[in-house]
């Protein structure tokens, strides 16, 4: 049985997540997120959705980007 890279659980329904630079096998999305999702450059939370990105890093939201000094990013387009 495949073994989860995060928690070590042997699980017959484990799955693999691949990025260009790394691959992992996991027994749950929770473990995959904990191991593979990027973290916000401001608050440190895992970025599970789209997030926002600038030269200063990846952020979970435009507010965290602003608090880090990035003023160009927005969570949604303004009318």
pLDDT in tens, 44-73: 999 999 899 998 899 999 999 999 999 888
Give residues with Cβ within 8 angstroms of 28, minimum separation 6. Answer: 4
Say whether pTM exceeds 0.75: yes
* Spans of all domains in the chain: 1-36, 38-79
Cβ partners under 8 Å of residue 34, min gap 6: 6, 46
pLDDT tens per residue, range 22-52: 999 999 999 999 999 999 999 999 999 989 9
């Amino acid at each position: 049985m495949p073994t989860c890279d995060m928690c070590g659980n042997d699980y017959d329904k484990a799955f693999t997540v691949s990025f260009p630079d790394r691959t992992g096998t996991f027994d749950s999305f929770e473990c995959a997120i904990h191991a593979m999702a990027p973290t916000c450059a401001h608050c440190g939370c895992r970025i599970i959705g789209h997030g926002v990105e600038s030269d200063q890093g990846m952020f979970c939201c435009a507010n965290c980007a602003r608090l880090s000094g990035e003023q160009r990013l927005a969570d949604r387009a303004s009318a």
